[in-house]
Amino acid sequence: MILVYDSFTGNVDRFRFKVCLETGMKAVKIEEGLIVKEPFVLVTYTTGMGNIPDSTAKFLRRGNFFNMKAVASSGNRNWIPMFAEAGVKISKQFNVPLLLKFENDGTKSDVEEFIKRVKEIEG
Using a 10 angstrom Cβ sphere, with 0-12 exposed, 13-18 middle and 19 or more buried, the burial of residue 104 is: middle
Q: CA 115: distance to chain centroid?
A: 12
- Crossing angle between the packed helical segments 54-61 and 85-94, to the nearest 10 degrees: 10
Query: Each residue of 85-113: pLDDT tens digit?
Result: 999 999 999 999 999 999 999 999 999 99
Query: Each residue of 58-81: pLDDT tens digit?
Result: 999 999 999 999 999 999 988 788
- pTM of the predicted model, to two decimals? 0.96
Of 17, 54, 23, 43, nearest in space to 119 by CA? 23
User: How is the beta sheet containing 68-75 ordered, strand by strand?
Assistant: 27-29, 2-5, 40-45, 68-75, 98-103
Domain that holds residue 53: 2-122
Cα(38)–Cα(6) distance, integer angstroms: 17
Number of domain units in the chain = 1
Q: What's 49's domain CATH number?
A: 3.40.50.360
